Structure formats: structure tokens, C-alpha cells
Amino acid sequence: MIGGGNDNTVLRFSFTNKQQFSDASSQLQDASSHVSAVHLKSRGFLSACIRVSKLMGELAQCPLLQVLEIDMPNESVHTHALVAVLQASKKTLVALTLRANVLRAKRGGTASKRLVVEGLRNLVALENFSWNNGSVDGCFSEIIGAVANCPKLKSVTLTQNLWGDTFDELALNPTLEALTCSGCVINWTGRLGTYDITLDRFCQTLQTSRLKSLKICPPPTNNDHENVDMTPLANYLHHTKHLEHLSLAIHKTQVKALANGLKHN
């Protein structure tokens, strides 16, 4: 089924077969001058990368686009098509959700990735950003670093692991109010890699941030972090003036240690 909003400023498309893409393209062309929000959704495997990328071309012709949601987890979009939308909407796009794979062109792949990063960095109106399954061939850190510099950023939702410097860049954005990550953030084990972040460093970053809501969702997968000192987190929670909501997956023994730390504070 393909459907439009009541006043044609919001368009919602749900794809179940490839033929529906041409109808969506026609609707986008007709509404291009006044559409402000577009939602694209599909389930199953349609193998429609070229068609999805063509829709991106139509979206690049919408001068008032403020909201773009691509909820197509089994589909792909070419980097050049995504870049076209980002460049065209750099002054208007307020919310971007991408649940799709992003494929670079066989030629000029490195340049394509660089253009995606630049396109995101130039979104001067962006407030809400959700990025799932769109790694762009391993440049996830560069993508998040670019978004972290958006001057009006308020909310970020991610599914990938978020390590070290990348977490710092996001959390220290002075306008960011909410960060949700269903990937790993803290290394609890003490066996640190180059980009890992300890609980102590995590809390040091939070002390400087202005986050109101922080949700880190992955459950513990082993017992390596049972005996981690929870004092840094207890100290942070006792002194924070900004954080209003914290959701953090920790081991049951850490809950007790954290409670004791808060009691002594």
C-alpha cells in the first residue's frame, strides 16, 4: 500500500513490491514544492536499491523537506543518492532516521563516504538523528563525529557500538539532551582496547555534558564486570545537575554496589 498525508505535506509510503516505487516517485514529483515530511517503509527483501536511490533523487527536489524516515532495514541506498538529499536539505532537515544499508559506488568509494560525512556535518537545522544499520563501509565514527557537530542537535538514537572518542564527541555537544544506544559503550572488563571507554572516563565525560536522558541498553554478556568499582557513577549521579533519566544495563552485583555508593554520598 502507498498512501499520502491529509494535506500532502506529509507523505507515507509502505512498499510490498517493486512496482509501487514508480507510484511513489510520481507522488513525490507532484508534491515536491510543498512536502515537508516523507516516511518510507518496507519489510522483506525487495532488492530495490536502484529504486530506493531513485526516490532519493526525487526527495532532493523537495525544498521544504524537514523530516525524512527511511525504515527499510533489508534494502540499500547508494551513497551518492543519500548525499544528494543531504546537500539539498542542509538548511531544512530537522529529523533524519535511516534504517537501511548504505552502499558506496564501485568507483570513487572513498570520495562517496567523505561526501556523506560532509553532508551530515552541514545539516544546520538537524535536531533528531537515528542511524541503524547504515555504517557506510566502516566510517561509523566519522559519521557520528559529523553529526556531533550539528549546532541544534537534541536527540540521537544508535544501534552500533559507541566507543571512546566517538562517545565523547556526542555527549559533549552542548545542545544534545537525549542519547540512546543499544550497542556497547562501556568496557567493564578492564582489558581495554585502543578505543574503549572505562566507567571512570564515561563518568568524567558525563560530568561535562548537558544530557538530560541517557539510555544504554545492551544486557551484560558475561561476569567479567561484576567487581567493577561503581564509585565514579555514584559520585556522578549524586552531583549531576542535568541528568533526569538514566537507563543502564548492569550486573545485579553492580546494582548493589551502586546503591551502597549512593548511600554513602
Pick the last residue of a domain from 110, 126, 153.
Answer: 153
pLDDT digits (tens, 9 = 90+) for 175-195: 999 999 887 777 776 666 655
Q: Is the pLDDT of residue 3 over 80?
A: no
Instruction: With respect to residue 158, please indicate whether it lies within any of the assigned structural domains.
Output: no
Instruction: With respect to residue 6, please indicate whether it lies within any of the assigned structural domains.
Output: yes
Instruction: With respect to residue 161, please indicate whether it lies within any of the assigned structural domains.
Output: no
Paired residues of 129 in beta bridges: 96, 156
Best CA proximity match to 88, nearest among 109, 58, 108: 58
> Do 199 and 78 belong together in one domain?
no
If you average pLDDT over each of 35-39, 156-160, 231-235, 243-247, which comes out highest? 35-39
Tell me what pLDDT residue 160 has: 79
pLDDT digits (tens, 9 = 90+) for 148-180: 999 999 999 988 777 778 889 999 999 999 999
> Do 24 and 95 belong together in one domain?
yes
Q: Is the pLDDT of residue 218 over 70?
A: no
Segment 234-252 mean pLDDT = 85
Query: Left, alpha or beta for 216 (phi > 0: left; psi -120 to 50: alpha)?
Result: beta
> Do 18 and 126 belong together in one domain?
yes
Tell me what pLDDT residue 45 has: 86
**pLDDT band for position 90 (50/70/90)?**
very high
If you average pLDDT over each of 28-32, 236-240, 244-248, which comes out highest? 28-32
Pick the last residue of a domain from 153, 184, 200.
Answer: 153
> Do 71 and 119 belong together in one domain?
yes
User: Strand pairing of 128-132 and 37-42?
Assistant: unpaired
> Do 13 and 105 belong together in one domain?
yes
Side-chain-facing half-sphere of 142: CA atoms under 13 Å: 14
The three grid cell numbers given for residue 227, joined into one nine-digit string: 567487581
When divided into structural domains, the chain yields a total of 2
> Do 17 and 107 belong together in one domain?
yes
pLDDT digits (tens, 9 = 90+) for 92-134: 999 999 988 876 655 555 567 788 889 999 999 999 999 876 5
Distance CA 39, CA 137 (A): 24
Instruction: With respect to residue 162, please indicate whether it lies within any of the assigned structural domains.
Output: no
Residue 163 or residue 144, greater confidence: 144
Tell me what pLDDT residue 139 has: 72
The three grid cell numbers given for residue 193, joined into one nine-digit string: 582496547
Best CA proximity match to 181, nearest among 201, 161, 204: 161
Best CA proximity match to 86, nearest among 110, 45, 114, 108: 114
Tell me what pLDDT residue 97 has: 94
> Do 146 and 177 belong together in one domain?
no
> Do 210 and 120 belong together in one domain?
no
Q: Is the pLDDT of residue 202 over 60?
A: yes
CATH classification of the domain holding 135: 3.80.10.10
- Name the residue range of residue 188's domain: 168-265
Residue 194 or residue 247, greater confidence: 247
Tell me what pLDDT residue 66 has: 97
Best CA proximity match to 46, nearest among 25, 27, 82, 19: 19
Segment 65-83 mean pLDDT = 91
Instruction: With respect to residue 163, please indicate whether it lies within any of the assigned structural domains.
Output: no
Concatenate the DSSP letters of all residues of 89-141 into one string. TTTT--EEEEEEEEE--SSSHHHHHHHHHHHHHT-TT--EEEEES--TTT-HH
Q: Which of 18-27, 180-189, 237-246 comes out lowest in average pLDDT?
A: 180-189
> Do 117 and 47 belong together in one domain?
yes
Per DSSP, the three-state class of 52 is helix
151, with CB counted inside 10 A (0-12, 13-18, 19+), is exposed
Residue 11 or residue 165, greater confidence: 11
> Do 34 and 86 belong together in one domain?
yes
> Do 197 and 132 belong together in one domain?
no
Map grid coordinates 521544504 to a residue: 64
> Do 148 and 227 belong together in one domain?
no
**pLDDT band for position 4 (50/70/90)?**
very low
Distance CA 135, CA 99 (A): 10
User: In the chain, what percentage of residues exceed pLDDT 70?
Assistant: 82
